[in-house]
Structure 1
Amino acid sequence: MPLQPGDRVALLVPGSRTYVDVVLSLLAEGVFPIPLDPRLTAYERERILANLEPAAVITDPAELAPLRATSRGIPLGRPMHVTSGTTGTPKGVFSGLLTRDDAAALVAEERDLWGFASTDVNLVLSPLYHSAPLRFAMGTLLAGGRITGFDADGNQPAFDPARITATIEEERPTTMFCVPAHLQRLFVHWDEHGTPDLSCFRLVAHAGAACPEPVKRRLIETFPAGSTWEFYGSTEGQFTACRSEDWLERPGTVGRARPGRTLHLDGDGQIWCTVPPYARFSYFNDPAKTEAAWRETEAGPAFSVGDLGRLDADGFLWLDGRREDLVITGGVNVYPAEVESTLAGHPGVKDVAVYGVADDRWGQRVVASYVGSATAEELDAWARERLAPPKRPKEYRAIAELPRTLTGKIRRRELAG
């Protein structure tokens, strides 16, 4: 079927060089790709796509080639990624068709922030159906650079530290986006086999999940000075960017508002962000959810995804977690991110997640599941020295591995269930 501007095309195929080319080709025609995990079950696919009404559903990589254009025009919108679905049915985040001026401004914003150039080689680590790796790959190609991290046939293999190390040595990438789990696995591999020459990197950006402080500090020490960044964003939009040098001065911060944006907190500590017209969005076919996500402010329309945080006098933001993760115990609000950060400082903790479980006395009680050698008694003593009584976990559960999404977010509901 011929595709028209505004149509949507679901991509349920593995990542590849062709995949990125097709995404850019479709967007240049005003057609919106819907990148999805090809491993979704039939039930999950139907549940997600029923509300998105795609004009085509691509499940065979061979179907990609006819959609690839010979020339690369400017994207007239953003891919329609879906929310992670941790709180109900995933929703499509829709930018709408942009004017030529707004489309150019969208590309320019990413280029100016990250410095994309024709000399860049972007190392792709994460699956391309996720928004951040796809955005970095697209920005690189639009600037005339190239992408790497694929096999000889141009397909994206599973993450493997040995393969990534070899690619760094052979391809000399200049940029990469990663999540903390990637860094942890790379550092383990490099401890055993040696760290490659990383002087080729000018930009290493991470996001997707909280980065443990030891991992963050090693990242800064291992890669070239000035090359490492963190950013805070969501499927819906981008909030902040943070140079590691700023993080060292303010440990734990996720930075200040990106250019063209402003941040403010409401009375409950919920984060709201104003964005330029080209960065606005709606939830496709869900006006009620769209209305709830936006509010008018003195600085213009602002959106929130329900995250909670703190701002200092200089505009630097710290995250306290998501409203839905908030634990209310005995009428006191406890933010899991704060407790996790404290417990992660114990030398016997490698990974930790804090959440609430139903409790007849307290309404909810604070529970910590952790990976590491520490005992519950040691962690209780650690918490007593550093946390007020309501924030101290009432229970510690040692487990082999925390359940996480592919982008590194903790599945707290699985732990609490």
Structure 2
Amino acid sequence: MGNITESYKTFAKLSPEKVAIHTNHQQISYQEWYKLINQTANWLHSLHSENKTIGILLPNGIPFLQLFAGAAKAGWIAVPYDLKWKITELEERVILSDPSIIVTTREIYSQIKQSIPNVMILDDSLQEIYQFDPTTVLKTEGNLPFYIGFTSGTTGKPKAFVRSQDSWVASFDCNRFDFGLDESDQVLISGALIHSHFLYGAISILYLGGTVFLLDKFSPIEGLSWIHSFPITTIYVVPTMVEAFLKEGIQVDKSIKMISSGAKWSDRSKLEIRNIIPNMTMYEFYGASELSFITVLPDSEGIQKATTVGKPCYGVEVQIRRPDQELAKPTETGKIYVRSKLMINGYFDHDGRTIHSIQDEEGWATVHDMGYLDEDGFLYIVGREQNMILYGGINIFPEEIEKVLSLHPDVEEVAVIGLSDSYWGQVVAAVVKGKSSQLELRRFCRAHLSSYKIPRKWFFLSEMPYTTSGKIARAELIKRMEKR
């Protein structure tokens, strides 16, 4: 299919002065961006690395996107590392991904140089890059691996996956067909580029020839200010960001597309955000790091079928299978399987080189989410197989209980987990951050849930533990609550 940077040359010719990326500190035109990517690719070629892997340990900014896109152009693999990781977490992921060079800021360099090998200061690398030819670049083979990412899984132990260029080039069609994006779009990337939702959002818009407005870090006030001040047409968000916008309560009258991933929006949040952004078009999509886009739910369908995650994205097939691998009937819950050209190549073995595919012989894969398809082909998520609680032989999905509890106005955050029980096997426990009482929440559950789904144990925390990707750390919660 080609390289994720192949369109830059076209836009450098057709719209040389058009802004490719706008940040707080600078903006860069497509002509400048094309030359910069060529220089970066030529610099990487000059390093004569065997494994051709570059680690990126940087805050949001043009250099982050430059090194990522330049690596793809050069046929290298880019590995974004999270600035919030502790040194031990970083070391673990560096060993897994084995980069030949890691580029970071001067401040971070001084903190990690004793522990992490092959680290280079950004300013030094940029000085070297600017010495290279900006007009030509050595041609690379097609469909090379270009991106290593990490998932933590149930244990919190990192797993490294590798993705090839074709998977993202194919997924750019989802931007066109499912989200209606093209070169006219001006897109606000409001979150950290370490997260694939925002990194993909930026790189895909550059491929389509639009303009990326990149915040240094998420700020609801600054995000809303940019929406008011610049011709922004689209914003990439996760539901927690929507909640932050709601708290500001600032009215936005212009037409905006909002593309959300990470978790299902609550019905309350959807209604409230419309009060402050009445001309908004919502697009929720369900996906996974390993599988990319799976389904999409635009506004028009979300109103009629509020609890669904939508229909399959462009080029994506979805099946629901029973435990015996037979296809489930409509509305029958089973494991969700996906087939598309958007998936990862596979996971790295711990030797860091062997890749294990996640697809079966016919190209189907699963991340063990459970759900069902209705008669109209809409997908509904019931929960994750690994989160499922086995209560006296009955399967309970915590996500259903969490959805109910999150509707209570005094519940800020909630996680429902299964705790060991000598008689029942497991019992349902709710861990809540908020002001409400156990008695009040029990009554609330009784009005919305079957009796066996009402939590038997309740815990109240001032703060939840999180994984490095910002999700509630269920494994850690279970360990903590088992000790109480």
* TM range, smaller chain: 0.7 to 0.9
2:160 aligned residue (92, 101, 108): 92
> Structure 1 residue 133: deviation in Å?
0.3
Equivalent residue number for residue 165 of structure 1:
224
Equivalent residue number for residue 78 of structure 2:
33
Question: Aligned pair 1:211/2:265, yes or no?
Answer: yes
> Structure 1 residue 82: deviation in Å?
1.3
2:186 aligned residue (113, 121, 135): 121
Pairs within 5 Å for 1:341-360:
341-360=403-422
> Structure 1 residue 394: deviation in Å?
0.3
Equivalent residue number for residue 285 of structure 1:
349
Pairs within 5 Å for 1:192-341:
194-195=250-251, 197-201=252-256, 203-225=257-279, 227-237=281-291, 238-268=293-323, 269-276=334-341, 279-285=343-349, 290-291=356-357, 293-296=358-361, 300-341=362-403
Verify the 8 A CA contact 1:330 1:362 in the aligned structure 2: yes
Residues 198/303 of structure 1: CA separation in 2 closer, same or farther (3 Å cut): farther
- What is the rounded CA distance, in whole Å, between the counterparts of 2:431 and 2:206 in structure 1? 42
- Larger deviation, residues 397-406 vs 229-238: 397-406
**TM-score, with length taken from structure 1:** 0.86
For each residue in 1:340-395, what CA deviation from the matched residue of structure 2 results, as whole angstroms up to 9, or x when unmatched?
Answer: 11222334433322111122222221111223343211221222233223311002
> Structure 1 residue 40: deviation in Å?
2.2
1:188 aligned residue (247, 250, 267): 247
Equivalent residue number for residue 133 of structure 1:
198
- What is the rounded CA distance, in whole Å, between the counterparts of 1:289 and 1:358 in structure 2? 36
Verify the 8 A CA contact 1:247 1:253 in the aligned structure 2: yes
| Uncovered stretches (5+) of structure 1, i.e. residues with no partner | 151-155
> Structure 1 residue 22: deviation in Å?
2.1
Amino acid at match of 1:383: C
Amino acid at match of 1:229: Y
> What is the aligned length?
398
Aligned residues: CA RMSD: 2.8
Residues 241/163 of structure 1: CA separation in 2 closer, same or farther (3 Å cut): same
Partner of 1:415, secondary structure, is helix
Equivalent residue number for residue 368 of structure 1:
430
**TM-score, with length taken from structure 2:** 0.75
Aligned-residue sequence identity (percent) comes to 26
- What is the rounded CA distance, in whole Å, between the counterparts of 1:384 and 1:264 in structure 2? 34
Verify the 8 A CA contact 1:282 1:290 in the aligned structure 2: yes
Residues 376/289 of structure 1: CA separation in 2 closer, same or farther (3 Å cut): farther
> Structure 1 residue 87: deviation in Å?
2.6
- What is the rounded CA distance, in whole Å, between the counterparts of 1:373 and 1:339 in structure 2? 18
- What is the rounded CA distance, in whole Å, between the counterparts of 1:70 and 1:134 in structure 2? 24
- What is the rounded CA distance, in whole Å, between the counterparts of 1:30 and 1:113 in structure 2? 29
| Uncovered stretches (5+) of structure 2, i.e. residues with no partner | 1-45, 106-121, 324-333
- What is the rounded CA distance, in whole Å, between the counterparts of 2:53 and 2:201 in structure 1? 22
- What is the rounded CA distance, in whole Å, between the counterparts of 1:407 and 1:389 in structure 2? 34
Amino acid at match of 1:316: F
